[in-house]
Structure 1
Amino acid sequence: MMNIHDPAAELRASVGIAFEQAHAMPVSVYTSPEFLALEAEHVFARSWLCAGRADALREPGDYLTMQIAGEPVLILRDREGQLRAMSNVCRHRMSVLLEGRGNTRVITCPYHAWTYSLDGSLRGAPAMDMNKGFCKEDNGLPAIRCVNWNGWIMVTLDADLPDPHEQLSEVDDLVGYLDMSSYVETFREEHHWNTNWKILAENFMESYHLPMCHGATIGGAVDLRKMTCPEGRAHFNYHHIMKDDSIALSIAHKDNTTLQGDDRYRTWLMAIYPSLLITLTPGYFWYLCLTPSAPGEVDIVYGGGLHPDFAVDPQADVHFAMLKGLLDHVNDEDRGCTERVWRGMQGRLARPGPLSHLERPNFEFARWIASRMP
């Protein structure tokens, strides 16, 4: 008999049926601190996670910080122009070294002023000359795997995980013609919402909510009867929609002769498991990177930018300012919807309901998470 107090067992039971009979994930999978701890160990610590765009770190010494399953991580551009990730914990008394993002010539601990070079090697340690067992060469910052995948900074704590170019090769099969690596980031923000990270991820994966949740913005142009959700792949799911020229940046630039036919109008929505969510059009992109901090709290990197054709267009700033206003409004609508779902889950009568055919990506996401549980 299934232990009803075991969220992982509840999840396995809920996804062990055909999609046509599927329900949303059990409430405990979202609300249980114990399940969040399992996700930290078996999902986030063993997956490729996105820290944002590689062009956010343009110059030597540019850095970002992030947390992976509670592990402080530092990502930077070294003096040779290479991306590096390393522990963001001092090797002396274990203070966190850098916060947020910025640029630095050296990494200096704010506690006792131990300093590290941009390659992570220990450069200086004041007043350590009388410690006979101290060796600078033994106290560099541990390296963490970091890869530039199509312009995205991908980081993992798992030493054995296949490279994202291999693991996510099917993404290239779908959208390689757009060359994500060439897109130029124009904004990057950090937000904190009061909802579970999976609620937000699922919200991105389905367009079933668009007519109602986004009624004041983009929902009026949506026809649910014309939507389809193709079967996802092993490490991501996706769907796409066709856009018209009502938003100038949604379609290929007028001077672009490479994109032909429907490829000039197609917008892709991709959820790279577990927590990178990408909207990619021929003119612009935007994305979310999710990091849970509690069952009902999620830290979000929200960024976006332009296809290179538009990045050099004299009118691009005007078009993108209008687009950014729309994206911010849509994001606020999503925040309202996903935070209401979290509040609803606290009710004694909250129960997962049956899924629409338009929520196939949610079911596949649930199966993926279940497959990671011990």
Structure 2
Amino acid sequence: MSPAQPSAELLEAAQRPFPDAKAMPPSVYTSTAFLAREIETIFSKEWMCVGRSSSLAQPGDYLTYELAGQPVMVLRDQAGALRAFSNVCLHRMSTLIEGTGNKRAIVCPYHAWTYGLDGRLRGAPFMTATTGFCKDDYVLPSIRCEEWLGWIYITLDRERPSVSTTLAPVADMVSDYGMENYVECFRETHVWDTNWKVLAENFMESYHLPVCHADTVGGHSKLSEMECPPGLAAFNYHWITKEASLPIGNAHPSNTRLEGRWRKTTALLALYPSHLITLTPGYFWYLSLHPKGTGQVAMIFGGGLSPEFMADPRADEYVATLKTLLDDVNVEDRGCTEKVFRGLNAATARAGHLSYLERPIYDFMHYLADRTTGFDRSFALAAE
């Protein structure tokens, strides 16, 4: 299937007004050609979240990531700055490091070419007799890297506006939470057997909570209390105001930043293309997604507590309770999203109408259509 068919079907769906909106067509999820278009127009250009800056607290701390086919390392250099580089040796092109950890230097596992934390080649065994070789000529290509409200973002696009500019409305919206001071207590990587957009959309709507999460958070989720306003250019969001099932879901008694209903309000943020944050007054958790083919998604999953709960004597207990809950929620979400992807591949699969509670999915569809087909989102918003 060429990208023309799913693009045309997506454009047709995106042109429907919200009161008569339907979900995206199956081809948008199952077409390998359309995925290639997404890699070209979205993942090779947008800012991608790779975690929290607090996870790289010390010089030499690092993590690795593969962005649109490019292996990337992100590290804290000796001066304390966050840096990102190509994770490919400049000799015979082996990848250099894997996973996360701490290193005083970057040593290639193939021929032991060694790079400093500034990306410069420091040593290359048995190269002195090679005519024309000068180690000063070898510096790992840098990748743009920025920190925003405690998050680390990278992009392959040299011209893209900064994260702080792109996400300024988000910063204003959640400023009273103090998200930059929340402490990450766990970070994991997973691969699920579903399409990245299925998992992203699953996070964006709470319509599924009472059913998919009946054994965990579903019973505490009142759909009538959810607010799903229209999204903005770089993100969509919705709010839930509730009496949380966990003490950490509401503001800590010592929290003086949040007042009134905001002490019990959860923000669910979908920062395009695939950084998904649940921000409560007491804890946060997040996903960052990258496709691995049409039927698999690589996922960073992490979470932690607000500074008031981290300072509480029961902090360890709160972290353990949160992690147990979210592990159970992930089991439920994995089952639901993998079922959706299997269904999308059926010959009889058809997109149905969206609920008003799925407004964020409608906005996400417009974002995808904008990036992949040139769809004019400003016209769509004005036409409602």
TM-score (norm 1): 0.97
Partner of 2:20: 21
Query: Residue 344 and residue 85 in structure 1: after superposition, are their counterparts in 2 closer, same or farther (change >3 A)?
Result: same
Alignment of 1:111-122 (within 5 A): 111-122=110-121
Partner of 1:141: 140
CA distance in 1, matches of 2:222, 2:183: 31
Percent pairwise identity: 56
Preserved CA contact (<8 Å) 2:249 2:264? yes
Partner of 1:317: 316
Q: Which moved more, 1:298-307 or 1:16-25?
A: 16-25
TM superposition shift of 1:226:
3.2
Preserved CA contact (<8 Å) 1:238 1:361? yes
Partner of 1:221: 220
Partner of 2:355: 356
Is there any run of 5+ residues in structure 2 with no aligned partner, and where? 374-384
TM superposition shift of 1:23:
1.0
Partner of 1:170: 169
CA distance in 2, matches of 1:246, 1:19: 33
CA deviations on 1:54-73 (whole Å, 9 max, x unpaired) are: 00111110100001101000
Matched, 1:161 2:160: yes
CA distance in 2, matches of 1:155, 1:308: 26
CA deviations on 1:248-295 (whole Å, 9 max, x unpaired) are: 101111122232111211111000000100001111100001111110
CA distance in 2, matches of 1:207, 1:97: 41
CA distance in 1, matches of 2:131, 2:230: 62
Partner of 1:92: 91
CA distance in 1, matches of 2:26, 2:327: 29
Preserved CA contact (<8 Å) 1:95 1:111? yes
CA distance in 1, matches of 2:163, 2:285: 20
TM superposition shift of 1:323:
2.1
CA distance in 2, matches of 1:245, 1:278: 17
Structure 1: 4+ residue segments shifted above 4 A: none
Matched, 1:57 2:53: no
TM superposition shift of 1:240:
1.0
Matched, 1:30 2:26: no
CA distance in 2, matches of 1:33, 1:213: 28
Q: Secondary structure at the match of 2:44?
A: helix
Preserved CA contact (<8 Å) 1:249 1:320? no
Q: Secondary structure at the match of 1:373?
A: helix
Partner of 1:110: 109
Q: Secondary structure at the match of 1:43?
A: helix
TM superposition shift of 1:4:
8.9
Preserved CA contact (<8 Å) 2:187 2:303? yes
CA distance in 2, matches of 1:159, 1:323: 38
TM superposition shift of 1:317:
1.2
Preserved CA contact (<8 Å) 2:3 2:31? no
* Alignment: residue pair count: 372
Q: Secondary structure at the match of 2:184?
A: strand
Q: Secondary structure at the match of 1:270?
A: strand
Q: Which moved more, 1:236-245 or 1:78-87?
A: 236-245
Alignment of 1:184-203 (within 5 A): 184-203=183-202
CA deviations on 1:145-184 (whole Å, 9 max, x unpaired) are: 0001100000000001100111100001110111211111
Counterpart of 2:112, as a letter, is A
TM superposition shift of 1:17:
2.0
Alignment of 1:337-356 (within 5 A): 337-356=336-355
TM superposition shift of 1:331:
1.2
TM superposition shift of 1:245:
4.8
Matched, 1:239 2:231: no
CA distance in 2, matches of 1:251, 1:36: 39
Q: Secondary structure at the match of 2:214?
A: coil
CA distance in 1, matches of 2:324, 2:75: 30
Q: Secondary structure at the match of 2:143?
A: strand
CA distance in 2, matches of 1:42, 1:62: 31
Counterpart of 1:69, as a letter, is A
Partner of 2:306: 307
TM superposition shift of 1:137:
2.1
Counterpart of 1:121, as a letter, is R
CA distance in 2, matches of 1:70, 1:237: 27
Partner of 2:38: 39
CA distance in 1, matches of 2:313, 2:3: 60
CA distance in 2, matches of 1:291, 1:371: 19
TM-score (norm 2): 0.94
Partner of 2:205: 206
Q: Which moved more, 1:100-109 or 1:240-249?
A: 240-249
CA distance in 1, matches of 2:267, 2:290: 23
Q: Secondary structure at the match of 1:294?
A: coil
CA distance in 2, matches of 1:245, 1:160: 42
Preserved CA contact (<8 Å) 2:198 2:340? yes
Q: Which moved more, 1:140-149 or 1:217-226?
A: 217-226
Matched, 1:296 2:295: yes
Q: Which moved more, 1:67-76 or 1:227-236?
A: 227-236
Counterpart of 1:131, as a letter, is T
Partner of 2:366: 367
TM superposition shift of 1:22:
1.4
Preserved CA contact (<8 Å) 1:106 1:117? yes
Preserved CA contact (<8 Å) 1:4 1:10? no
Preserved CA contact (<8 Å) 2:49 2:275? yes
Is there any run of 5+ residues in structure 1 with no aligned partner, and where? none
CA distance in 1, matches of 2:202, 2:257: 33
CA distance in 1, matches of 2:221, 2:108: 52
CA distance in 2, matches of 1:332, 1:251: 24
